[in-house]
Amino acid sequence: MGILREDVVVISPAEKAGDPTVISVNCPDKTGLGCDLCRIVLHFGLSIARGDGKWCYIVLWVDGKTNTRWDLLEKRLLEVCPSYFSTSGIDYYRPANQQPKRLDVYLLKFWCSCVRKELLHDITLVLFDLELTIKRVKVSTTPDGKVMDLFFITDTRELLHTKERQGETILHLKTALGDILESCEIESAGEEITACSQGTSFLPSAITEDMFSLELPARHPGGLLASDPISVTVDNSLSPSHTLIQILCQDHKGLIYDTMRTLKDYNIQVSYGRFFANRRGGCELDLFIVQADGKKIIDRNKQNALCSRLRMELFRPLRVAVVSRGPDTELLVANPVELSGRGRPLVFHDVTLALKNLNIQIFSVEIGRHMICDREWEVYRILLDEGDSHHVSRNMIEEGVRKLLMGWE
């Protein structure tokens, strides 16, 4: 008997206020499926409070919001689930790091008559609601106080080539920005335009290898609690066919995604997993895993390398630093990119919200990808307004941004 496509993802609403919404996924398995599902959940701004999964059946208890678009979430989850009707059959260990479908890039260009501290955050909210993904940003402030914004975006719906979709986008931006929006245009971004948007190809010398190191630092950065160490252990005695990875750590936003992203990059299959977050902010994860060949991880060096990488990714999933850029102050945020080419979602949204909360205005923004320490990073370089940045210490800026990115505020 076949299984209906609409039964693959089932979202059960919370029965009462304060209860979690339950998301059930039942489909053929693939390496990296947990990562793909958790990335979508994180993209919708949801927090996973509990999780359970065995083979190709996954249940997530998530804390939602009143404005969560559950129908759209269901559609996006369905898109990453392997089909039951594949003529090639179920391949449990197919390569996980295929490049995602390449979407056309468009240039969204507009002028604003004045600067508002919340301007960039308002724009990111509009684009998020419209399912438009920001790939690159160039924001410049002219001497007379006007703002020119260049957003390089892709459309999840793949409709931005139509007049209707472009008109909808411009209308939403006009509604959100009001009279300060002077003009707005959308055009296809050819290779020439994209190349001209790349900005600087180098990072300042103040960004050292320590910021991008894959080793645990000697001391904890601001905002992390030394009293909450991260424990990652391996046990091969509890299962004849699987290696058990046990993780004890402090909870943070996207924790399950960070774990699954790391395992996916190592081409490791999760056959069964359980996740639980307690009221004190601690998390417990039990993951029964196998290698790409379907066997346990016996090699001690491989075990140690995997545990070390998981500790690092959970300790510093994102890198944040406030440095000098000549006489000015620059905020840098580095987001690790999966081998599949995807970066962590909503980073720019959270950074702009943190700066808005700190009452700091953004002067200019550059977003680019860099190969550092043999790994690709999505780096956000945000030049802060000179007057605003002086009334808040650099430590406060760094801590405020990091806490919001980690979901601790």
Answer whether residue 207 is part of any domain: no
Distances (CA, A) of 141 to 96, 113, 364: 42, 10, 7
Say if residue 288 is in the same domain as residue 338. Answer: no
Strand segments, DSSP code E, in 171-229 are: 181-188
C-alpha to C-alpha distance for 342 and 160, rounded to whole angstroms: 21
What CATH number is associated with residue 268? 3.30.70.260
pLDDT for 191: 64
pLDDT for 86: 46
Answer whether residue 85 is part of any domain: no
Say if residue 348 is in the same domain as residue 388. Answer: yes
pLDDT for 402: 95
> CB under 8 Å, gap of 24 or more: what pairs does 373-378 form?
373/209, 373/212, 373/213, 373/214, 375/212, 375/214, 375/336, 375/337, 376/336, 376/337, 377/212, 377/319, 377/334, 377/335, 377/336, 377/337, 378/334, 378/335, 378/336, 378/337, 378/343, 378/344, 378/347
Distances (CA, A) of 405 to 67, 191, 192, 397, 408: 20, 32, 33, 12, 8
C-alpha to C-alpha distance for 299 and 243, rounded to whole angstroms: 11
pLDDT tens for residues 245-259?
999 999 999 999 999
Q: Quote the domain boundaries for residue 245.
A: 228-315
Q: Which residues of the chain have pLDDT under 50?
A: 1-5, 84-96, 196-199, 222-227
Answer whether residue 304 is part of any domain: yes
Q: Which pair of structure tokens corresponds to residue 163?
A: 């007049």
Contact, 22 vs 11, CB < 8 A? yes
Contact, 286 vs 244, CB < 8 A? yes
The structure's pTM equals 0.81
pLDDT for 92: 42
Answer whether residue 131 is part of any domain: yes
Say if residue 398 is in the same domain as residue 343. Answer: yes
Report the C-alpha dihedral over residues 33, 403, 318, 71, rounded to 10 degrees.
30
pLDDT tens for residues 339-364?
888 888 889 999 999 999 998 888 88
Say if residue 292 is in the same domain as residue 351. Answer: no
Residue 305: phi, psi to the nearest 5?
Answer: -65, -40
pLDDT for 222: 45
Domain boundary among 269, 294, 315: 315
Structural domains counted in the chain: 4
Say if residue 251 is in the same domain as residue 311. Answer: yes
Say if residue 403 is in the same domain as residue 323. Answer: yes
Say if residue 356 is in the same domain as residue 390. Answer: yes
Answer whether residue 278 is part of any domain: yes
Domain boundary among 45, 80, 115: 80
Domain boundary among 80, 95, 120: 80
Answer whether residue 356 is part of any domain: yes
Say if residue 322 is in the same domain as residue 401. Answer: yes
Answer whether residue 200 is part of any domain: no
* Local structure of 255: helix, strand or coil: helix
Distances (CA, A) of 9 to 5, 56, 107, 219: 8, 12, 34, 43
Say if residue 249 is in the same domain as residue 278. Answer: yes
HEC secondary structure over 96-151: CCCCCCCCCCEEEEEEECCCCCCHHHHHHHHHHHCCEEEEEEEEEECCCCCEEEEE
Say if residue 326 is in the same domain as residue 310. Answer: no
The one-letter code for the residue type at 321 is: A
Answer whether residue 294 is part of any domain: yes
C-alpha to C-alpha distance for 40 and 188, rounded to whole angstroms: 26
Say if residue 294 is in the same domain as residue 308. Answer: yes
Say if residue 45 is in the same domain as residue 123. Answer: no
